[in-house]
Amino acid sequence: MVQVGIIMGSNSDWNVMQYAAAFLQEFGVAFECKVVSAHRTPDLMFEYAEQARERGLKAIIAGAGGAAHLPGMVAAKTTLPVLGVPVPSKYLRGEDSLLSIVQMPKGVPVATFAIGEAGAANAALFAISLLANENPELAQKLADFRQKQTDTVLAMDLPAVD
């Protein structure tokens, strides 16, 4: 059964959102990816958000750029955790996306991540850590992943000074 939904406002967001998909795949979490636009397919957006919990999803990762309404509007229609990813935009480099997503008024939260690739990847890792609360095997995979990162940094060399 699909556990995490990855949605995005356009297929042009895929360059960034694929980093979320890659981590979910690596950790063996069942997920789906779909284009759902807040302003171009508002009815689909409401339908997706309204049905997400009964379909068995545990979290929704929503990425959008510009005046990025998608994560907030989805959060308005579901009590599932919504993880917002600001996608870099053409003119404001994603600062518009970030502020649109992060500044939710009190009462309807969206967990907001960094702009771009790091945000998409971390949103997936955060969803995995939510699922790991009820799944010891996933928790162990997450711990192994962290340890590998630690080992990589501890093994880093720097060039000698000339």
Does residue 146 have a known ligand-binding role? Answer: no
Chain centre to alpha carbon of residue 161: 41
Exactly one of 24, 62, 66, 84 binds ligand RP5 (CB under 6 A); that residue is 66
> Taking contact as CB under 6 A, which single stretch among the options 61-69, 73-81, 107-115, 143-151 is the one that binds ligand RP5?
61-69
As given in the structure block, the two tokens for residue 81 are: 């955790």
Contact 72, 9 (CB under 8 A): no
Contact 68, 86 (CB under 8 A): yes
Q: How far is the CB of 90 from ligand RP5 (least distance, A)?
A: 8
Exactly one of 7, 20, 59, 64 binds ligand RP5 (CB under 6 A); that residue is 64
CA 55 vs CA 1, 7, 49, 59, 131: distances in Å? 9, 15, 10, 11, 16
Taking residue 8's Cβ as centre, other Cβ atoms within 10 Å add up to 26
Q: Under the criterion CB under 6 A, does residue 96 sit at the interface with ligand RP5? A: no
C-alpha span between 127 and 138 (Å, rounded) = 11
Q: What is the DSSP letter of 12?
A: G
Q: Which is nearer to ligand RP5, 10 or 18 (CB)?
A: 10
Does residue 13 have a known ligand-binding role? Answer: yes
As given in the structure block, the two tokens for residue 31 are: 């997920």
Q: Which is nearer to ligand RP5, 78 or 89 (CB)?
A: 89
Exactly one of 7, 13, 23, 62 binds ligand RP5 (CB under 6 A); that residue is 13
Q: Under the criterion CB under 6 A, does residue 12 sit at the interface with ligand RP5? A: yes
Residues annotated in a binding site: 10, 13, 40
Residue numbers of the site for ligand RP5 (CB under 6 A)? 8-10, 12-13, 37, 64-66, 87
